[in-house]
């Protein structure tokens, strides 16, 4: 049995050889064993695992992304078909693509959860302001990765998402036209757009994330992991470093005393993503990209649905202000947080404004996301018309009513035989369940979220419009 004992010693000898040759004890292990506050041994230490879990998901995204890139073809006439092949024919293709899809959502959730924990714990305060700033840049990079990855599907949702993004960029003062050309790689969304987004998603943004992660981890090790906040114990810049150094003298090594929690959390989130991918599989693609189909009912991924709902709900007159002002305000606030409040109380119970700054946007965005899920809005473009099957064989009054249906904005919210908006009920068979008087009353007085049109229609126009709708049986 001596050969079994010798075989069992091989891994240790290899590790010893590598450690000695690469001087790992003085570099990697020194970093892993850096002291952390002893308070992290308590249950509150579980709040500190979100950063490691996010890093684990990012590594998984890189691995699965490389796997997808080996088969994906970034060309307009091949991208959609290559993803269909990955999803339905390639060995483990559906699982790998599912992991990449669910991993993107998990990374967005974990980055936001990690930043929320840091904000509520006051860990962005002195001397860790730069940690927060690099984390904010990582949040932007994560959202950019999620958005650019959606376009690579090259289906209807992806195509119109880029169109919406380009239209929003065009609202920016002074640089709007330049930003639009930068996004679409020219004047129109096409092959050059797909190539640009592919290069951005696969090379540019990951390189930036790797650099930011390196800087972020360097700052975490250099400045130390912040201790759990204590009510009444404020950050005092002149004395904080000495107090923290004293805390570390009775601290614990990160590895293995604290790192096991990070390892467990990372393993659990990766396992959850793998199980979702194995059970649910890759998400279905919508129809192939078709620029001529303006009634495409496009939808972004769930984490952008709240913003999608905002764009659908705001009045047209305020679009430029909201599209430019809202993201600008949000990210300006994000980057000013450590500069405006570098010291003072850290515990959330002593910072009610901080709790409100987290709770109110969360509730608002969650509500908007639900609205986005339940209301299939379609951006109704100018120049829409009813299908010929609807307008043929109409009398004079009915035809005038059909023209009013389009010109008076009914068409923007209601669909007839697939044409029109989707915000309101489909009116293809409206006369089957409402009589003439009921249709007239609903148009004139509104109700159920519909405005009253009595003041914007003359009696003859209202009569013509109702005459047209009565034909829809």
Per DSSP, the residues of 285-326 read P-SBP-TT---------GGGHHHHHHHHHS-GGGHHHHHHHH
pLDDT at residue 266 in the model? 97
What is the value of pTM for the model shown? 0.79
By C-alpha distance, which of 441, 438, 440, 411 is closest to 427?
Answer: 411
* Lowest-pLDDT range of 264-268, 287-291, 362-366: 287-291
Select the highest-mean-pLDDT range: 61-75, 176-190, 303-317, 390-404.
61-75
- Averaged over 126-146, what is the pLDDT? 96
Q: Is the pLDDT reported for residue 143 higher than 60?
A: yes
Q: pLDDT tens-digit profile of 230-259?
A: 999 999 999 999 999 999 999 999 888 889
Rounded to the nearest 5 degrees, what angle is found at the Cα of 95, between the Cα atoms of 92 and 100?
125
Note whether 354 and 345 are within 8 A (CB).
no
| Helix 305-313 and helix 319-340, axial crossing angle in degrees, nearest 10 | 130
pLDDT at 16: 76
Neighbouring residues of 434: CB distance < 8 A, sequence distance ≥ 6: 442
Kindly report the average pLDDT of the chain as a whole number: 86
The answer on pLDDT for 102 being more than 80 is yes
Domain boundaries of the chain, sorted by first residue = 32-374, 388-470
Tens-place pLDDT, residues 362-391:
999 999 888 887 765 554 544 567 788 777
CATH, range 388-470: 1.10.760.10
Whole-number pLDDT of residue 379:
46
Of 48-62, 80-94, 109-123, 414-428, the least confident: 414-428
CATH 1.20.810.10 is held by the domain 32-374: yes
Q: What pLDDT does residue 443 have?
A: 81
Percent of the chain with pLDDT over 70: 89
Those residues whose C-beta lies under 8 Å from the C-beta of residue 343, and which sit 6 or more positions away, are 125, 126, 234, 235, 236, 237
> What is the pLDDT averaged over residues 442-454?
68
Whose tokens are 């992290």? That residue is 40
Pairwise CA distance, residues 235 & 243, whole Å? 10
Tell me the chain's radius of gyration from C-alpha atoms.
28
Q: What are phi and psi of 235, to 5 degrees?
A: -80, 120
Most confident of 78-87, 419-428, 435-444: 78-87
């Amino acid at each position: 049995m001596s050969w079994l004992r010798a075989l069992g010693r091989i891994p240790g000898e290899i590790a010893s050889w590598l450690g000695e040759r690469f001087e790992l004890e003085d570099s990697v292990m020194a970093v892993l064993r850096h002291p952390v506050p002893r308070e992290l041994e308590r249950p509150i230490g579980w709040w500190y695992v979100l950063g490691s879990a996010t890093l684990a998901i990012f590594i998984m995204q890189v691995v699965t992304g490389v796997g997808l890139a080996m088969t994906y073809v970034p060309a307009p006439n091949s991208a959609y078909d290559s993803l269909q092949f990955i999803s339905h024919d390639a060995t483990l293709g559906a699982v790998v693509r599912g992991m990449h899809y669910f991993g993107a959502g998990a990374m967005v959730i974990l980055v936001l959860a990690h930043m929320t924990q840091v904000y509520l714990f006051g860990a962005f305060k002195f001397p860790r302001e730069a940690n927060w700033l690099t984390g904010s840049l990582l949040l932007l990079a994560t959202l950019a990765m999620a958005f650019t990855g959606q376009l690579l599907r090259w289906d209807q949702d992806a195509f119109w998402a880029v169109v919406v993004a380009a239209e929003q960029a065009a609202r920016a003062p002074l640089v709007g036209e330049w930003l639009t050309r930068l996004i679409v790689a020219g004047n129109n969304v096409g092959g050059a757009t797909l190539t640009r987004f592919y290069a951005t998603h696969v090379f540019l943004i990951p390189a930036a994330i790797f650099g930011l992660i390196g800087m972020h981890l360097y700052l975490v090790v250099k400045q130390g992991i912040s201790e759990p906040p204590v009510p009444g114990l404020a950050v005092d810049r002149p004395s904080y470093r000495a107090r923290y150094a004293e805390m570390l003298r009775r601290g614990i090594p990160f590895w293995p005393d604290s790192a096991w929690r990070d390892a467990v959390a990372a393993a659990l989130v990766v396992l959850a993503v793998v199980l979702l991918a194995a059970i649910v599989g890759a998400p279905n693609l919508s129809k192939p990209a078709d620029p001529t189909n303006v009634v495409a009912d496009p939808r972004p991924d769930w984490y952008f649905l709240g913003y999608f709902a905002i764009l659908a709900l705001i009045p047209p007159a305020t679009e430029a202000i909201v599209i430019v002002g809202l993201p600008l305000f949000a990210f300006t606030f994000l980057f000013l947080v450590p500069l405006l409040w570098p010291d003072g109380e850290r515990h959330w119970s002593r910072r009610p404004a901080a709790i409100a700054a987290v709770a109110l946007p969360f509730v608002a965005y969650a509500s908007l996301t639900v609205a986005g899920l339940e209301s299939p809005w379609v951006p109704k473009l100018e120049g829409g018309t009813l299908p010929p099957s609807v307008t043929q064989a109409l009398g004079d009054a009915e035809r005038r009513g059909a023209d009013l249906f389009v010109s008076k904005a009914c068409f923007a919210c209601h669909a007839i035989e697939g044409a029109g908006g989707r915000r309101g009920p489909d009116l293809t068979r409206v006369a089957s369940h409402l009589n003439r008087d009921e249709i007239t009353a609903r148009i004139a007085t509104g109700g159920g979220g519909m405005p009253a049109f009595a003041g914007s229609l003359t009696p003859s126009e209202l009569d013509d419009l109702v005459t047209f709708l009565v034909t829809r049986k």
